[in-house]
Amino acid sequence: MIHPAFTAPGQFYRGNLHTHSNLSDGCLDPKEVCRRYKAEGYDFISLTDHFVGIFDYPIADTLPFRDAGFTTLLGAELHSGAMANGELWHILAVGLPADFAASHSPAFMPVEDQESGAQIATRARQAGAHVTIAHPQWSGLTLEDARAIEAAHAVEVYNHGCATGCDRADGFHMLDLLLAEGRKLDLVATDDAHFTEPDHFGGWVMVKAQANDPELLLEALKRGEYYSSQGPDLRLVEVRDKTVVVESSSAASVIVQGQGTAATAIHGHSMTRTEVPILRFYNSPWLRVTVIDAAGRRAWSNPIWIA
């Protein structure tokens, strides 16, 4: 069984799915944000400004910044309803229509008579967006909170802005708990860039598509035909009877994780083809792969369901 990201036709395109401009609380205008990502070698980004009233519910018009080598997906970071800790939900929606209806979210505090997080996430998915539960550790999400977002396609497992700004970048614990309950979710690494600190160019997705086209990229995201990275390349993740075969750029460690305590690591030098035994995974219906290079940078596969 080969993960579909490595069998789908096309090539990999590098993109950031969580970015802010001065339409909300970022410090650069949308044109400059796009210019910087393009100059850094990205193929696409989604500008996901904060969808609240104090910013006039922005969905940034990035269409003028598309060209033959760089494209954009319209999106926003949606906010509505209270989490268990009483704070406002943060939900990433990539691929929104430009006329997505505003929520009753005047600022960054929950108010009465507004949609719940689950409701606005469902509405975004029904409108065609790829929906992600944003920065679970930073938000202080409970498992019950996360369970409520049934419309989610993915969990944000690495957020570079949360890493640099507060050392709360992780979403893997939440993802694995949801996977253990049978939720078929993918994962994304992002920047959450505001350009007010070194919060950019630190985490991205590599999406497999037949062209660098917004609709093709969005559909591939929804199908899970991508992996996430801080630097390493993944070239193959194949599950065999007794091993997982991982082909990658030069790796110092390759780790396979599964349900509960199931995990097996192989360590070495400049590994590009690694076979990881999966005897410990007899009770796990899913597994995922982490590749770590000599500099400590990681790449992550989406989960593969094996049962």
Q: For the domain that residue 281 is a member of, what is the CATH number?
A: 2.60.40.10
Alpha helices (H) along 8-51: 30-39
Q: How many domains does the structure of the chain reveal? A: 2
Same domain membership, residue 77 and residue 60 = yes
pLDDT, tens digit, 9 for 90 and up, residues 22-48: 999 999 999 999 999 999 999 999 999
User: Number of helices (H) and strands (E), helices first, in the chain?
Assistant: 7, 17
Q: 172, 141, 178: which is closest to 156 by C-alpha?
A: 172
Average pLDDT over residues 131-151: 98
Separation CA 230–CA 84 (nearest Å)? 31
Q: Which letter does DSSP use for residue 124 in this model?
A: H
CATH code of 54's domain: 3.20.20.140
Same domain membership, residue 222 and residue 254 = no
Separation CA 194–CA 162 (nearest Å)? 11
Q: Is 193 left (phi over 0), alpha (psi -120 to 50) or beta?
A: beta
Same domain membership, residue 25 and residue 142 = yes
Average pLDDT over residues 174-194: 98
Average pLDDT over residues 245-270: 97
Report the pLDDT value the prediction gives residue 54, as an integer from 0 to 100.
98
Same domain membership, residue 55 and residue 36 = yes
Same domain membership, residue 289 and residue 260 = yes
Average pLDDT over residues 13-27: 98
Measured CA distances, 126 to 40, 87, 97, 119, 274 (Å)? 33, 25, 11, 11, 40
Same domain membership, residue 126 and residue 86 = yes
Report the pLDDT value the prediction gives residue 307, as an integer from 0 to 100.
82
Separation CA 57–CA 76 (nearest Å)? 9
Domain that holds residue 287: 234-305
Same domain membership, residue 79 and residue 97 = yes
Q: What is the mean pLDDT of the chain?
A: 97
> pTM for the full model?
0.97
Report the pLDDT value the prediction gives residue 275, as an integer from 0 to 100.
98
> Which domain-ending residue is among 187, 202, 229?
229
pLDDT, tens digit, 9 for 90 and up, residues 271-304: 999 999 998 898 899 999 999 999 999 999 999 9
Structure tokens at 108: 């960054």
Same domain membership, residue 242 and residue 216 = no
Question: How would residue 113 be classed by pLDDT, with cut points 50, 70 and 90?
Answer: very high
> Which domain-ending residue is among 196, 229, 262?
229
Same domain membership, residue 94 and residue 31 = yes
Same domain membership, residue 285 and residue 217 = no
Report the pLDDT value the prediction gives residue 282, as an integer from 0 to 100.
86
Same domain membership, residue 249 and residue 144 = no
Separation CA 244–CA 29 (nearest Å)? 44
Contacts of 162 (CB under 8 A, 6+ apart): 135, 137, 138, 168, 169, 192
Average pLDDT over residues 175-202: 98
Same domain membership, residue 262 and residue 153 = no
pLDDT, tens digit, 9 for 90 and up, residues 68-112: 999 999 999 999 999 999 999 999 999 999 999 999 999 999 999
